Amino acid sequence: MASDEHVALLKQGVAVWNEWRLKNPDIRPDLSEADLKNAHLCAANLGGRDLTEVKEADFIGADLRGADLRGADLRGADFSTEADLSAYLIACYNANLTAYFTEEPTADTRRTHIQIVLTSPDASGVSYVTYVRRERVTGANLSGADLRQANLSAANLRWADLSYANMVGANLREAKFREADLRGADLSGVDLSGTNLFEANLGGANLSEANLGEADLTGADLGGADLRKANLGSAKLWEANLTRANLTEASLRQAYVSSADLSGADLNKARLSSTIFNSANLTAANLTRANLFEASLFQANLTEAKLTSADLFRANLTEANLTDANLTGAVLRAAILISTNLTGADLTGCVVYGVSAWGLKLERTKQENLVITPREEAALTVDNIEVAQFIYLLLHNQKIRDVIDTIGKKGVLLLGRFTEGRIAILERLREKLRGLGYVPMVFNFDKPETKDFTETVRLLANLSRFVIVDITNPRSTPLELQATVPDTMVPFVPILQNGEESFAMFVDLKNKYDWVLKDVIVYPSVDRLIEVLEHEIIGPAEAKFSELLSRRTEQLRLKKV
């Protein structure tokens, strides 16, 4: 219990109290459990060599601006502001009603509603509900107070004004700072693990090397705060404001940072493994050399972010926006990039081994020297992230190489418009080619004419040993052949059903490119076409293939003059 003498001295005023402390330095004041509500203690000396005992004291609404609380024992002290509901409780008693109440926040952060539910024992099931508006007056004023080494563990500092207070070395474990004003406060090196800082204002505060592990910083304002080397592991930072905050070498492992604003924040060398940044704003943030192992950046905004040499191993960047971001030298091993926007991004020198890349936006993206091999293998680079995985599989998967090699040796592309009345031609050709050991690939132009098939035809043709093209229908293949034949040096064997005419420009293709066989095979029926397939089609096509192969491998002839 508090000393009545000490409480009386304090209530005479700060000047009297400080003079008494000065004259009696060896006396340890005892203000424990004292009622100091709304006391004016501005610049009061409550610290010093002989620490003031103020455990569980009531400081509700007290003015402690600039007070000296160094080393004071403030465990369990209450610095918050509560509503006085005594009048309502008396009214309930007189009306023989049972009352209980809960708080409900309003749009105005300076007010809250008290919901009072009144239940009458005489009218079963009948209840009356009323809302009382309460002004949220700020809590105790500790602005600029010296709280170095003070013990504030489990203290209630809700709504308290601690702006520019010095709390270095204070014990703040499990203290309640909900909606407190901590702007510019010095909390460097302080243990705030598990602390409730919900919607607290920590703008510009010094939290360097502070321990904020598992702290609740939901909706807190940390704009411009110094969090260098701070521990925020498993902290809740949902919708927090961290704009321009300094998080250099800070640890946010497994922290929940979804929907937070980190625009312009400095996260250089930060430890961010398994951190959840879903829908977070990281515009222009500095993540140079940051460790983002298994971090989730789903729908995060990383526009113009600097990720130079960052480790994004197994990170999830699905639907993330990396427009104009700098990822030079970043590690994207096994990262997930699905529908990721990389417009204008710089991926030079990125390690993309094992990356999952689907539906990327790559307009203006700089892709040079992308490493597609693991660290233990000699570096192999490509200049396109979308083909990186395919190239690696070609080099390391024997089955894929065998498939491609088989297609190159035995693949035959069948082109034409095979409508319902002519589908039998397609089926018979495919069956016969299979029987002869070939791998038929069918491309039927009986599709919507608005679709462009050029790239598909070109790719399949380049994989084939030769192409059989049915030019029976004048609308069948003219555009695709004109785009494919000039750049695809494989044998093209034209076939034509008796009584039909080919499209006019096919003659020009035959005359310009000698890999288009000169003889057009005119067939009267499907049976006859299959009968002459080996002699009139396959034989000439294989001969032309050998000729073209010799031409490709022909040595350069030198003529000395």
Taking the C-alpha atoms of residue 231 and residue 251, their distance in angstroms, rounded to an integer, is: 5
Nearest CA among 423, 452, 450, 221 for reference residue 442: 423
Taking the C-alpha atoms of residue 467 and residue 460, their distance in angstroms, rounded to an integer, is: 9
Residue with tokens 């601006």, as numbered in its chain: 65
Q: Is the pLDDT of residue 335 over 50?
A: yes
Mean pLDDT, the chain, rounded, equals 78
Number of neighbouring beta carbons within 10 Å of residue 152: 28
Per-residue pLDDT averaged across 63-74, rounded? 48
Q: Is the pLDDT of residue 451 over 80?
A: no
Query: Buried b / exposed e across 169-207, counting CB within 10 Å, b at 16+?
Result: ebbbbebbbbbbbbbbbbbbbbbbbbbbbbbbbbbbbbb
**Confidence at 56, pLDDT banded by 50, 70, 90:** very low
User: Do residues 196 and 219 touch, judged by C-beta distance below 8 A?
Assistant: no
Taking the C-alpha atoms of residue 187 and residue 164, their distance in angstroms, rounded to an integer, is: 10
For 261, the 3-state DSSP assignment is strand
Taking the C-alpha atoms of residue 383 and residue 405, their distance in angstroms, rounded to an integer, is: 24
The pairs formed by 515-519 with CB atoms below 8 angstroms and a separation of 24 or more are 515/485, 515/489, 515/490, 515/491, 515/544, 515/548, 516/485, 516/492, 517/491, 517/492, 517/493, 517/541, 517/544
User: Do residues 287 and 265 touch, judged by C-beta distance below 8 A?
Assistant: no
**Confidence at 385, pLDDT banded by 50, 70, 90:** confident
Taking the C-alpha atoms of residue 279 and residue 270, their distance in angstroms, rounded to an integer, is: 19
**Confidence at 421, pLDDT banded by 50, 70, 90:** low
Let me know how many helices (H) and strands (E) the chain has, helices first. 11, 12
Rg value, the chain, Cα: 39
**Confidence at 70, pLDDT banded by 50, 70, 90:** very low
N residues, the chain: 561
Q: Is the pLDDT of residue 342 over 90?
A: yes
| Cα dihedral across residues 415, 419, 421, 424: positive or negative | positive
pLDDT of residue 403: 62
Sequence-separated (6 or more) residues with CB below 8 Å from residue 304: 283, 284, 323, 324, 325
Q: Is the pLDDT of residue 312 over 50?
A: yes
Nearest CA among 439, 445, 454 for reference residue 422: 445
Taking the C-alpha atoms of residue 226 and residue 207, their distance in angstroms, rounded to an integer, is: 5
Q: Is the pLDDT of residue 409 over 70?
A: yes
Number of neighbouring beta carbons within 10 Å of residue 314: 18
Taking the C-alpha atoms of residue 241 and residue 507, their distance in angstroms, rounded to an integer, is: 70
pLDDT tens track for 172-185: 877 889 999 999 99
pLDDT tens track for 221-251: 999 999 999 999 999 999 999 999 999 999 9
Q: Highest mean pLDDT range out of 23-32, 111-120, 148-157, 307-316?
A: 307-316
pLDDT of residue 53: 45
Residue 131: C-alpha distances to residues 92, 101, 114 (Å):
14, 9, 6
Share of the chain above pLDDT 70, in %: 69
- Going along the chain from its start, the domains and CATH numbers come out as 86-135 (no CATH), 403-551 (3.40.50.360)
Q: Between residues 412 and 306, which one has the greater pLDDT? A: 306
Query: Buried b / exposed e across 247-261, counting CB within 10 Å, b at 16+?
Result: bbbbbbbbbbbbbbb
Q: Between residues 40 and 468, which one has the greater pLDDT? A: 468
Q: What is the DSSP string of 28-65?
A: --B-TT-B-TT-B-TT-B--SSS--B-TT-B-TT-B-T
Q: Is the pLDDT of residue 203 over 70?
A: yes
Q: Using alpha carbons only, what angle is made at residue 206 by residues 203 and 210, rounded to the nearest 5 degrees?
A: 115
| Cα dihedral across residues 132, 135, 138, 140: positive or negative | negative
